[in-house]
Each structure stands twice: as C-alpha cells, then as structure tokens.
Amino acid sequence: MELGSIWVVLAVIFGGLGVGKWILKKVNWWLYEAELGEKQYSLPPGDLGWPFIGNMWSFLRAFKSSDPDSFMRIFINKYTANFSFSTSLSFLFMYIHISWHFRSSSFPLGMMPFHHSSLFPGEVAIRYGNNGIYKAFMFGNPSIFVTTPEACRKVLSNDDAFKPGWPISTLKLVGRKSFIGISYEEHKRLRRLTSAPVNGHEALSVYIPYIEENVIAMLEKWTTMGKIEFLTQMRKLTFRIIMYIFLSSESEVVMEALEKDYTTLNYGVRAMAINLPGFAYYKALKARKRLVAIFQSIVDERRNLRKNGALNTKKKDMMDSLLGVEDEKGRKLTDEEIIDVILMYLNAGHESSGHITTWATIFLQEHPEFLQKAKEEQEQIVKRRPPAQKGLSLKEVREMDYLSKVIDETLRLITFSLTVFREAKTDFCINGYIIPKGWKVLVWFRTIHLDPEIYPNPKEFNPSRWDNYNPKPGTFLPFGAGSRLCPGNDLAKLEISIFLHYFLLDYRLERENPECRWMFLPHTRPTDNCMARIKKVSSKSV
C-alpha cells in the first residue's frame, strides 16, 4: 500500500473518531441549549460535557486527586497546559492528515486551516475566562456555576427568583421534607418551629454541661488509648453529643450503628446516582432506609408515651419538642417531617462539627504561635471566672474572640460544604448572562473562600487575617446565606469552642503522619483520618 493510502486510512479512522467525539459532545447541547432558541446565545460560557454524565467525571477526578480546585480551573483558566496522551496522539494524526491534504499548497505551519480547540473541546483549550459564572452539566442537570461574592449573594438572597435545587438523587437520601427540599414557606415555618430548641440562648446554655462532660471524659480516655484515628474519634464524640441533645440516647450500640449508616449515607450524597449493588449511591439508599426505620420506631414510641401520659416532662429532648410543637394555625409536624428533620440535624450536627474541630486542632498544632495565643486566651477566661463557678458559661464562650477567629479561618480554609444548589424559578440575568428557568445553580463556596483577591495567601492558615476584618456580603459563606442559613450553626460553633477550650488548656496532638495527603470526598480530611496520640501537658484541673 502506498504511503498516501496509509495516510488516507489513518485520516478516515481518526477523523471518524473526532467527528464521533464532536457529536457526543453536542448531545447535551441539542437536549438543553437548542430548545432555548435565541436565549442560548446569552448563556454563560462553559461546556455541558458528555451525554448523561456531563462534567461529573471531571469533578470526581479532580476531587479524588490532590488538587480539587483543578476542576473549577477548567472553567476559569484561559488555557490548560495539560495534554493527555490520547489527546496528543489524536492531535498528531489530525496534523498529519491536514499536512498531507495541503502538501502541495503553500500554507505555513501556523496557518493550517483548522482549530484544534473546536475538535477537542474541554481538553486542549478552554477560553471561558474569570467572569464568575459558567454553564455545566452536573448531577444529571444542566447547571450554572456562580463563583463570585456578588453573584452568590444575588442567588442566595433572592427567594423570588430561586428555590432549592438539590438533585432528586440527593433528596432521596436526605429526605424531601428536610430543610433543603422544601419551599420557602415550608422552610420558614419549619425553621421557626425548630430553631429555638437548637440555637436559642436557653437551649445552648442547657447543652453546655453535657458537652463539657463528654469532652473532658473523651480527652482523658484518648490519652490512654495510644494511637487513635483522631477524626474518627471526634466524629464519634460529636455524634454522641448530638444524639443526646435530640434523642436523649447514650446507648453505645445504637450510636455506633447509626454513625456507621450516616457515614455510608454521606458517601452517597456526592457520588454519581447509580442505584446498582456495589455503588456508593445504592449503599446510601439502603443506609437511609435503616435510619428511617429506627427513627420511625422512636417516633412511634414517644407518641405512645405522650398518649398514655407517661412521658418524662422534666427531661425533654429535641424529639419531644418536635412532637409537641404547633404553628400559629395549630398544625403539628408529621412523622415524615420529624424524621427528615432529625435525620438532617444528626448528620449535619456531627459531621461538620467533627471535621472542623479536627482541622482546627491540626492547624493550631502546626502553628505554635497561633496555638499559644489561643491557649493564653483560654487561660485568661479561667482566671476571670468566679470561684463558685464550675465549668464554662455561654457568656465565656462568647468572649473567646481569638478562638472564634481560629474557627472562622478553619471554616474558610476547609469549606466543609463546597456548594449549595438552587433552581431558577424564572429566567434571571447575572453579569449579563442568562440563567434559564429550570436550570440548576451551584453556588461554589470553595472558589470564593480561596480567592487570593479576597483572602491574600488563601491556602495559608492565618487566624490573624480576621483582625479588624469584617467580610463583605458573599465573601464568607461557611453556613450559606439568606433565608436558608444553616439552622444549627450556633450549636456547631458551641461544640467546637468547648472542645478547643479544654484541649488547649491541657492537651496536645502528636500526629503519626503529619505530611499525609488530603482527601476531599465526601469531605476534606487526612487520608489516615489523622492518626495521632493525645498527650496531656498539664495536671492542672479546670
């Protein structure tokens, strides 16, 4: 076979592959953009990715690597410098084909009549720029990323234009009657009925002694256990606390079973919704079913106790409050509402607190100057305490000015919840681009919290950056914003503050693998779950 024939065959093969790839990359455009008509030309820049999976592969690949921010850089960077081997090979054969085709013409090298980025979109050149709003296809839906403070503020504060937009797969796991799945009116009602027992001044004051008791006992116990997975133990501690607050349960067997199912549930929330045996989402659905069955049995038992007048009125927990509460129209909460609220609070109340407390402890131990400053503040609080007072008061917790900065800096740097979902109720314009009605909006907190223009040296832990600094609206969003601000944020910060208070006074953390890599799904954590020893540094009792 002549050389020319070989080039023709190769050109046909690789040209066919290129055309096939181009067609596949256009499927989501045909399904979701073309139907918009003229409005499609006002969409933000971006790429809807492959059919069905969209940009999820890029998301999972980035967040399972050591550089999760590489995912958003695909949209922000002007050009990507990384060529995969397959892309480079395809590009080479395309060049050979065109070189052969124009072998007798006088085109110079840089003037070959093709544009490689149009042949290989998303792999060779990205031209979207840093405008803070991009189109994508995430979790089975055409979506818009918003990544600037102003754009995020507009989305989160406008309940007329946006409603909760969490994927159906997520709602199946966390519950359609949880805070993230209900309308603005339902959310307002449910928040009003549940906020006082969780975040109210009286409630927080009541929780302090129990939190203290468990923190002190666990710290002492950990010193005798040798090497421990510090994150795992922290999650168990925070789960024990939240279980007592909501269900008055201290059963080790029950708590261990529930905590295990919650871990499985969380792995499924950010996985692809593949409901087949062996996949994370399938396992998460099974875990939710077990959790709901347990909570339903507790609800049934409590209702029977109330009916028979056998309920302990002196020792009320959150479950009792939810069973008895009524709105202004005399409506009580249904079993489904109670179970979904309890399931959500127990999950958020131990996962976020456990992870952030772990990271705050790690960061302080890695930065002796910040640790010393935080420790001195706690020592001063103890010195100012009246002799008759035993333990912390809510007033003292609110005087922990520097420790509050430590917690805020940890919340910023770790960004426990990297995004929230909204859905456009109507066509809405931001920065000159349209967000079509029905499209999802992903408010991407992580990009804001790590923006060097907002936070200089953003990947450095530096609590002092908060000195005399009041973040502008939309620049600090660890608990969301607007009417759907996380309802348990005060309780979470209380738990973290109490633990750090006692840890700083009397203990230190000695990590086994201080240089170990980080993982980012479902939440940011050390790959070894912070294998460490807890050592006592003072015999002084507080």
Residues contributing to the annotated binding site for heme? 486
Residue 197's contacts (CB-CB under 8 Å, 6 or more residues apart) are 203, 318, 321, 322
Sign of torsion, CA 31 33 36 38? negative
- Token pair of 127, please? 């031209």
Longest dimension (CA), the chain: 99
Phi, psi of 20 (to 5 degrees): -60, -40
Which residues are documented as binding site? Answer: 486
Q: Whats the size of the chain, residue-wise?
A: 542
Residue 178's contacts (CB-CB under 8 Å, 6 or more residues apart) are 171, 340, 341, 343, 344
Phi-psi sector, 537: left (phi>0), alpha (psi -120 to 50), beta: alpha
Query: Rounded to 5 degrees, what angle do the CA atoms 535, 541, 542 make?
Result: 110
Q: How many other β-carbons are positioned within 10 Å of the β-carbon of residue 377?
A: 18
Residue 40 to residues 37, 162, 501: CA-CA distances in angstroms? 6, 20, 54
Q: Are 291 and 261 in contact (CB under 8 A)?
A: yes
Residue linked to tokens 């910023």: 412
Residue 108 exposed, middle or buried by CB count within 10 Å (0-12, 13-18, 19+): exposed
3-state DSSP of 79-125: CCCCCCHHHHHHHHHHHHHHHHHCCCCCCCHHHCCCCHHHHCCCCCC
